[in-house]
Amino acid sequence: MVLTKQRTAVHNSMLGRRIPHPSSTNFTDDSPPSKRLKTHESTDDDFRDVSPLRTPRAETPDSDDECSSGEVGASNVHVTELESALGPVKTDKEAIQEYEAMRAAEGSLDESEDVPGAGDLNDRLSKRSWTRGKSSIYVDAFNLALETVLEDEGHLFDEREMKVFQIWRELDYEAQYLYVRLFLRKTSVWHRINKLGYYGDIADLPAAVDILQTTHSLPETTAEIQVNPAEHAPPDGTVLDSTFTFADSSDGMITSLEEASSLLNLEELKVIGKESKLRGKNKTELLNSLRSMSRRQSGLGWVGLKRSDSEQTSVSDSGENDDTGAEDDGMSDSNRDKHFLRKIMNTTGACIRLSLPTLKLFERVHLVFYRSTEWTEKSLTTIILARISRRNFPDYIVSRSANIFTSRAELLEFEAGLRTQFRVEDILEMNGNPGKAGLEEVKAIFDEVYPRWKVLLEEEQRKEERVYESGEGAYLRRFSPAWVYTRIVHKGTYVLGRFKLHAEEHEVLSKLLGQHLFHAARRGAWYQRKALLEEHYMYAIAPPENLSDPEKHKRHWKRIALQTCEQGLQDKDCHIIYHYDLQKRIKKIEKNIKMPMREQHDFDHVLLAKPIEVTVEGIQIKKNYPPSLKRRTSNTHPPEEKLRSTKTIWVDEAETGGECSVEAMCLSHYRSQGFKGYHAEGGIIRTLFAYLFFDILFIYIPNVFQTAYQTCPLDLHTDAFFPSRISEINHRLVEIANGNAADIIRSVDSRERERATCVIGLRWDFELDDLLEIVACFPDEALAAVCKVMAQEYRVRGGGIPDLFIWKPATGEEKGEVRFVEVKSENDRLSDTQRLWIHVLTGAGVRVELCNAVAKEVKVIDVER
């Protein structure tokens, strides 16, 4: 049979087409369509490029509603450590369909041995014998994580949990598929069964739901309930009991109007609102009106509801008889809440929600498998897609340790610590000013965590000295409860400062600086705060016993503050970005205590220069869009206000004469002055770093290469990368400072370019000759300084690099020169990360220009429909 392309059905053939309005309506709309209001229940039957952000389940708050996360824009999707490390594979719907078709074809080939003709590809495709319902990348990835963890780290789970895994393996495919897809959605909310939309994958959806909602018995467990600092018991409903289900049923479990009303979409809410005479124009207003009406607890006649209205909805899905209706009718005069609840549930139908104990159990499995406290839907599929991608990855030793958590108790304490950390950050950072009550709550958490942190700190120090070898402890420590507690202690110092408990804060900061195992990236901030306390507060709190003059007390502590700043500059773990502030404080203190000039520090060689401001004039284009009917009627702001956040359009006078971005216009201006350049926004720096540190990126460090398909070690985006390779990194920085960068680049390029090896940040589209020219123009010490910043904080410092990278090759006696140019148009401002990079580059002796694009002429173009 010849395969023919399927045509769109007649009734669907107009989907996606834009039909112009008749000219008689005078309706024009060239502007992008605004975001539509959700009027129906969405499904994720189709894979979206925009995946729901998975907050780490071990990091979830105590309330399930707080941890539910909706779908976010692509620009807001947070990339986890695992996703960053894996290669740039396709993870869209087409890639997943290719994989599932491949798996289905493999299954058909296995069956073809006994079935004549079953192995014919065209026959299988025409009959759809591989149809969705037999294999799915989601189920494959979910089970891969489970089996890998149980094989290597099964000791982390007790008898009841192992029984749950056994029952999971016995579930049929459709039940597993439904569970996994719900697992990747808003796991803590109810889902309407009639709106799930998985009919292409699940032939019998009600049967799959029944399987997940079936009650199973569990054996007794020898594990005891664990008490952890600041959390004396696990959150309610998260511990397995003697029985369990994989999913909850809405029957009898949805008992509040708040919970039920959230299931309605706008159109359904309007219907109920019309019957009940609710006031409101949008979903929020209608819901508030409905809940407000329910709280008044008066008779139904007040809103115009009659007995006949409720009789139509008195029969529930479970087949309740007329007696129930009579009972409800009598009840409705005194409690309107139940009446609306019944009406809503009749509208929505049966609902399903993942059971909390099993949900938390599977989240723990993923925490162990991904070696990360966060993961997303793409994390679940990227590993398998990377396996089937035709790309070349670097050569390195894959090492997956089975002792990342030495015991079940340590894993549970790590989880509890993450929940406590979330509570602290939620109080301090998520809801505005925490107030006195919030600060006192954080102080109480700190008081419980601090003693336990000191005990764990001593244990980790013993491990570092006697157990860990070849730097493996740097990454493993991220999964110690002490790593989480260090962050909580760090947050606690802020609260101590707010309560003016400066003596205690100084003691804690000294303890934090006394250890070099956790959160090395924060050491600079700790030095700064400690020096500030010593300069301004400690003289009154702890005056020297042998001095009686208050002025001498101040001078004594200022000298101690000076020593603290000096220690920060000498600390190999104190990142270079903090050096400038420490140097400023040193100069200020030395001047304040009137230290002789011959004894003062001289930082003139590293003083920061401000970026040189230049102006580039050009012709700007402004497009005048005809306002849409909707905007004319609903928007009170002038069209110019809408354009303030859009990118500006300019004329490329120097080269093509066509339209271009403001960066391209400025780049053309520099090219006319003899410069070469790219609008790379950090692409050049990341490429140079990948070249120069290629072998160091893939040196053997235990546990940071979990798969053979990574483009970087897992710890590159953490503060463990630098200290675990500090000897190799410093040696490479010396080589770069001595002028050997070009030789390193040539060696890596000759070995890897033909294979186009996938390495993080490395773009093979940059020509080798350009890179060698850049290195020749780049001051050697400046290039080493930039690479050191990248090595210390790759994740944070990957952004904020100036827009343009330009260079002028050496000619005759004139030396080569490199410049970074940050382009700013009328409405742009420098961000904090951009200012930091300007400080780093100017401090290294590299010229940075702030290019202001000014319109010498503005052309207004009317955009016709």
pLDDT for res 531: 95
Convert 73-98 into a string of H (helix), E (strand) and C (coil): CHHHCCCCHHHHHECCCCCCHHHHHH
Pairing verdict, β 216-217 and 243-244: antiparallel
Q: How far apart (Å, rounded) are the C-alpha atoms in residues 617 and 654? A: 12
What pLDDT sits at residue 837? 81
Enter the DSSP assignment of 157.
S
C-alpha–C-alpha distance, residues 149 and 401, integer Å:
11
- Please identify every stretch of the chain with a pLDDT value under 50, giving residue numbers as ranges: 1-78, 109-131, 297-334, 629-645
pLDDT of residue 171: 93
**Which strand (E) or helix (H) includes residue 771?**
helix 768-777
Helix (H), strand (E) at residue 857: strand 847-862
Order of strands, sheet of 612-624, starting from the edge strand that comes earlier in the sequence: 659-660, 649-651, 612-624, 847-862, 817-824, 804-808, 676-679
Provide the pLDDT for residue 65: 31
Closest CA to 159 of 219, 225, 244, 217: 219
Facing residues of 231 across strands?
A: 228
| Amino acid symbol at 856 | K
337, two tokens: 């809440």
How high is the pLDDT of residue 693?
96
Task: Return the number of other C-beta atoms located less than 10 Å from residue 804's C-beta.
Answer: 23
> Coil, strand or helix: which one is 657?
coil
Nearest-CA neighbor of 364 among 423, 426, 418, 425? 418
Q: What's the CA gap between 540 and 554, in Å, rounded?
A: 8
Report how far residue 411's alpha carbon sits from residue 480's, in angstroms, rounded to the nearest whole number: 8
Q: How many CB atoms sit inside 10 A of residue 751's CB?
A: 11
Distance CA 165, CA 550 (A): 69
Q: How far lies 46's CA from each of 8, 94, 710, 848, in Å?
A: 17, 10, 27, 47
319: left (phi over 0), alpha (psi -120 to 50) or beta: left
Of the candidates 788, 763, 780, 792, the one whose C-alpha atom is nearest the C-alpha of residue 681 is 763
Q: What contacts 462, CB < 8 A, 6 or more positions away? A: none
Place of tokens 């003691």: 507
Burial class (CB in 10 A: 0-12, 13-18, 19+), 142: buried
In the Cβ-directed half-sphere of 296, how many Cα atoms lie within 13 Å?
12
CA dist 530 and 565 (Å) reads 9
**Nearest alpha-carbon partner for 829 in 808, 847, 850, 815:** 850
d(CA 567, CA 582) in angstroms, rounded, equals: 10
Q: Count of alpha carbons within 13 Å of 809, Cβ hemisphere only?
A: 7
Find the angle CA(327)-CA(332)-CA(333) to the nearest 5 degrees: 115
Q: pLDDT tens digit string along 86-123?
A: 655 565 566 666 666 665 665 554 444 443 333 443 34
Distance CA 658, CA 594 (A): 62
Reference 246, options 164, 324, 321; nearest CA is: 164
Q: To the nearest 5 percent, what fractions of the chain are helix, strand and coil? A: 50, 10, 40
User: Two tokens at 103?
Assistant: 């798996």
The answer to whether 393 and 698 are in contact (CB under 8 A) is no
The whole-angstrom separation of Cα 599 and Cα 801 is: 37
The model carries a pTM of 0.69
How would DSSP label each residue in 284-334?
Answer: HHHHHHHHHHHHT---GGGGT--HHHHHTT-S-TT---HHHHHHHHHHHTT
Buried-exposed string 170-204: b where 16+ CB fall within 10 A, e elsewhere: ebeebbbbbbbbbbbbbbbbbbbbeebbbeebbee
If residue 649 lies in a helix (H) or strand (E), which one and from where to where? Answer: strand 649-651
What length is written for the chain? 865
- Give the DSSP letter of residue 710: B
CA–CA dist 587, 609 (Å, integer) = 17
- Please, how many CA atoms are within 13 Å of residue 281, restricted to the half-sphere of its CB? 0
- Which SS3 state, helix, strand or coil, does residue 727 take? helix
- Ordered DSSP codes for 672-691: TTT-EEEE-TTHHHHHHHHH
User: What Å distances lie between residue 475 and 518, 543, 715, 716, CA to CA?
Assistant: 10, 42, 6, 10
| Other Cβ atoms within 10 Å of 834 Cβ, number | 20
By the 10 Å C-beta count (0-12 exposed, 13-18 middle, 19+ buried), 670 is classed as buried
